Amino acid sequence: MAGTLGAMASTEPTLFDQVVNLCKRRSFVFPSAEIYGGFRSTYDYGPLGVLMLRNVKDAWWRSMVQLRHDVVGLDAAILSPPQVWEASGHLDNFSDPLVDCTGCKTRHRQDQLNDPDVCPSCGESGTFTEARAFNLMFKTQAGPVEDAGADVYLRPETAQGMFINFKNIIETSRKKPPFGIAQVGKSFRNEITPGNFVFRTREFEQMELEFFVPPNEAESWYEYWMNERYQWYLDLGIPDDLLRLRAHEADELSHYSSGTSDVEFLFPWGWGELEGIANRGDFDLTQHAQHSGQKLEYFDQGTGERYVPHCIEPAAGATRSMMAFLMAAYDEEQVNDDTRTVLRLHPRLAPYKVAVLPLSKKDTLLPKAEEVLHSLQPHFMCDYDITQAIGKRYRRQDEIGTPYCVTIDFDTLEDNAVTVRERDSMEQQRIPVDQLVNYLDEQLGL
């Protein structure tokens, strides 16, 4: 990582500033509704951000669904009735303790105060009200009538979609424990202290697996998923000195969990959670069975055994992980008299895999460059850039993490070969056009 860590007394930009600036400048992430002055802590993913975020989610789906025989997918509704959240415990328990300062009228999360008696806004002590529980769920109304019967909630986690579809899936998918249901999608929380760019926002994307197991296997599957999930971040290029697994203390556990460990990343401000792996026991299926009156259990026709499966849940943030991948990949290095900014992203996560760059804008080169581009597009997400000097265009691709640049020059018209430049080493090789797809495929190793 380049830059300085945190907000030290320095004029040097911090890594945080560098990544946030890059995100805006190169169209990864924009503040939402910016032409209206912005909408606090809400972000839009621009042309490169949408590609990278999709790559993060696809990498998760590939490892959690595609490469396994014991996990199926789901895309459940975002709007849900209060019964779901009553049963899950979110109506009663999903809250933060809030205090108001009677001096300066600001509101704070009690559990995040450095000194529980001193207001961080005005510095006065003894001015706080009693703490009140503030529920983090967004409530809205379904249909034209605004009465209590029309209340619905935007889901604060994707997980409940899996629990309320357990019966449907076990009856239709021929899966039996141990098996899992995976989902990727938006969740919403009325966070009191959103911030640190896309680390904590009110609208974000999650990637969650609910893995249902026989009760006596819960502990070993919990260990299994902790290791799998830690390895996933390593495999996608986060160095192990920026990652750790941390077990929750008893007083940190959520209302449903008998054991949770977080995969944490060393952000510029300190360690922060990327994902929690929780042993939820039979809490959710039992709660939904009681509230819905339906049997949510597994009956083994072979053995005649009947039980409520226990659930191990690896729950990750897609938007938050994307930020961690960007921070870990950001680098600056001296090349001759120049500073080269390079995103050393894993090729699977890079927005573009290949950039096609005709050496000059001359008409003679463009038809060949377009022909090469069209031959690559069915295989890889490609960029095409014909403006500015070639050195500048290489730098522009380095800065957004493109692993390979393919340059079409005047020799190409003679020998039907192109120059392929690798992002990290900047080494160049001449490759025949008819071998280009295979060559890039092998090098990218996707």
In the complex, the residues that contact ligand GAP under the rule CB under 6 A are: 157, 159, 189, 191, 200-201, 204, 206, 208, 273-276, 313, 315-317, 319-320
CB 319 to ligand GAP: min, Å: 6
Please state the closest distance from residue 308 (CB atom) to ligand GAP, in A: 19
Alpha carbon distance 129, 329 (integer Å): 44
Is there a contact between 184 and 206 (Cβ–Cβ < 8 Å)?
yes
Q: Distance (Å, rounded) from C-alpha 110 to C-alpha 131?
A: 7
Of 26 and 320, nearer to ligand GAP (C-beta) is 320
Closest CB to ligand GAP: residue number = 317
CB nearer ligand GAP, residue 275 or residue 385: 275
Q: Provide the minimum distance between the beta carbon of 19 and ligand GAP in the complex, in angstroms, as a whole number.
A: 16
Task: Dig out the tokens for 368 from the structure.
Answer: 């060949």
Q: What is the 3-state secondary structure (H, E, C) of 348-405?
A: CCCCCCEEEEECCCCCCCHHHHHHHHHHHCCCCCEEECCCCCHHHHHHHHHHCCCCEE
Q: What is the nearest approach in angstroms of ligand GAP to the Cβ of residue 298?
A: 21
Please name every residue paired with 270 in a beta bridge, in sequence order, or none if there are none.
267
Which amino acid type is present at position 66? Q
Decide whether 29 or 382 has the Cβ nearer to ligand GAP: 29
Question: How would DSSP label each residue in 163-207?
Answer: HHTHHHHHHHS---SSEEEEEEEEEE---SS-BTTTTB-SEEEEE
Shortest distance, position 139 Cβ to ligand GAP, whole Å: 17
Nearer to ligand GAP, 157 or 282 (CB): 157
Considering the complex, what minimum distance in angstroms separates the CB of residue 231 from ligand GAP?
Answer: 17
CB of 159 to ligand GAP, least distance (A): 4
What residues contact 296, with CB distance under 8 A and at least 6 apart?
Answer: 163, 166, 167, 285, 286, 288, 289, 308
Is the Cβ of residue 177 or residue 276 nearer to ligand GAP in the bound state?
A: 276
Cis peptide before 367 (omega within 30 of 0): no
Q: Output 196 or 443, the one with its CB closest to ligand GAP.
A: 196
Residue 163 neighbours by CB under 8 Å, 6+ apart: 88, 210, 284, 285, 288, 296, 311
Closer to ligand GAP by Cβ: residue 96 or 157: 157
CB of 346 to ligand GAP, least distance (A): 19
Three-state SS at 88 = helix
Tell me whether residue 80 or residue 443 sits nearer to ligand GAP (CB atom): 80
Residue 432, φ and ψ in degrees, nearest 5: -60, 140
